[in-house]
């Protein structure tokens, strides 16, 4: 058997384990219950991977890092187990869905950060939030936790995820402010209800995206904000390929944030801006 590629596989496997160690070390910052001998080894491994900058990371950096680690490990594991899955988001593994939900809540943290620089968006955080493609309700729960005046309509069409969403919401302190519904955004029939909407475009084909934007605009109040997310395509060719693959396997199409901005402006949104991180680019604007 040829072993010409085995050393490279060993290096890739080492990198995967180092990524897991870094994520584990960050997670244990707020957990004093773990065996100190095990924790010492985890932290030592994380420092071997990142160096002393590990200890200097602030809360915002740790939050972003955990999102990136969990997303990478969850995505990699699901891709390896189910390489034959087509262009859809019909994931059956409850653990994988919950992991994606934990990672997704950082989207609302970013929305809040953007709102800090946009007073009108801050006001939108006191109204009713439409969480499209809620999955297991990770974003909805984070919105309810951090915005005590906000009500949330969480919608999705994947019933296995919605079952977990209902359970997660019922077990939270926010069940009186979150409504979970099996509803296609293209069938949204509300009128002038929402002050803020989240639309993950990476799960939508273009015709569906166009209809979703129409429905959300009709369902939004004056001065309501829409935040549309798209996976960022890095300059690195391999990472760009992974971003494309992630979008296609999620059921969407490879989209340019500039196109999404144009679609929003065509529906009357103003002050449309973009905010990019290595994970996702947010396109956001306001209905006058």
Q: Which domain holds residue 42?
A: 6-68
- Residue 259 in domain: yes
What is the spatial distance between Cα 52 and Cα 140, in angstroms, rounded to a whole number?
Answer: 35
- Residue 251 in domain: yes
Q: What is the DSSP string of 43-57?
A: HHHHHHHHTTHHHH-
CATH code, domain with 180: 3.40.50.150
- Residue 257 in domain: yes
Q: What is the DSSP string of 100-160?
A: HHHHHTHHHHHHHHHHTT-HHHHHHTTSEEEEET-TTTHHHHHHHHH-TT-EEEEEES-HH
Are 159 and 280 contained in the same domain?
yes
Are 139 and 36 contained in the same domain?
no
Are 233 and 116 contained in the same domain?
yes
pLDDT in 10s for each residue of the chain, 288 residues: 456 888 899 999 999 999 999 999 988 887 778 888 998 999 999 999 988 788 777 887 888 788 788 878 888 888 898 888 777 667 778 887 887 888 788 899 999 999 999 999 999 999 999 999 999 999 999 999 999 999 999 999 999 999 999 999 999 999 999 999 999 999 999 899 999 999 999 999 999 999 999 999 999 999 999 999 999 988 899 988 988 888 888 888 867 999 999 999 999 999 999 999 888 999 999 999
The secondary element (H helix, E strand) that includes residue 75 is helix 59-81
Q: Rounding to the nearest 10 degrees, give the CA dihedral for residues 173, 179, 184, 186.
A: -120
208, burial (CB in 10 Å: exposed 0-12, middle 13-18, buried 19+) = middle
Are 175 and 227 contained in the same domain?
yes
Encoded tokens for 192: 């002038």
Are 47 and 145 contained in the same domain?
no
pLDDT at site 2? 57
Are 111 and 224 contained in the same domain?
yes
What is the spatial distance between Cα 280 and Cα 194, in angstroms, rounded to a whole number?
Answer: 23
Are 138 and 271 contained in the same domain?
yes
Long-range contacts of 110-118 (CB under 8 A, 24+ apart): 110/275, 110/277, 110/282, 111/196, 111/198, 111/227, 111/282, 112/146, 112/147, 114/227, 114/275, 114/282, 114/284
Are 133 and 268 contained in the same domain?
yes
Domains: count for the chain: 2
- Residue 153 in domain: yes
Beta pairing class for 270-276 and 280-286: antiparallel
Are 120 and 43 contained in the same domain?
no
Are 104 and 177 contained in the same domain?
yes
Are 55 and 178 contained in the same domain?
no
- Residue 83 in domain: no
- Residue 57 in domain: yes
Are 133 and 204 contained in the same domain?
yes
What is the spatial distance between Cα 190 and Cα 193, in angstroms, rounded to a whole number?
Answer: 6
- Residue 77 in domain: no
- Residue 165 in domain: yes
The verdict on pTM exceeding 0.85 is no
């Amino acid at each position: 058997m040829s072993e010409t590629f085995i050393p490279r596989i060993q290096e890739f496997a080492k990198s995967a384990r180092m990524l897991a160690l870094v994520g584990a070390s960050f997670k244990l910052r707020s957990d004093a219950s773990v065996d100190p001998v095990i924790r010492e080894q985890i932290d030592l491994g994380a420092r071997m991977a990142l160096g002393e900058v590990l200890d200097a990371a602030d809360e915002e950096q740790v939050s972003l890092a955990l999102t990136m680690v969990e997303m990478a490990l969850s995505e990699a594991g699901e891709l390896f187990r189910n390489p034959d899955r087509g262009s859809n988001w019909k994931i059956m593994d409850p653990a994988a869905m919950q992991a994606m939900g934990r990672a997704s809540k950082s989207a609302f943290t970013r929305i809040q950060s953007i709102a800090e620089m946009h007073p009108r968006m801050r006001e939108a955080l006191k109204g009713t939030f439409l969480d499209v493609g809620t999955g297991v309700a990770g974003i909805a729960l984070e919105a309810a936790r951090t915005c005590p005046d906000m009500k949330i309509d969480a919608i999705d069409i994947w019933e296995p995820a919605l079952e977990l969403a209902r359970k997660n919401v019922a077990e939270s302190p926010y069940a009186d402010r979150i409504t979970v519904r099996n509803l296609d955004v293209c069938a949204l029939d509300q009128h002038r209800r929402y002050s803020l909407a989240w639309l993950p475009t990476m799960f939508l084909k273009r015709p569906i995206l166009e209809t979703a934007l129409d429905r959300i605009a009709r369902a939004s109040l004056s001065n309501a904000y829409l935040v549309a997310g798209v996976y960022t395509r890095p300059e690195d060719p391999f990472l760009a390929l992974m971003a494309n693959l992630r979008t296609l396997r999620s059921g969407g199409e490879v989209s340019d944030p500039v196109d999404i901005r144009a679609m929003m402006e065509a529906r009357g949104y103003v002050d449309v801006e973009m905010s990019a991180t290595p994970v996702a680019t947010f396109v956001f604007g306001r209905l006058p």
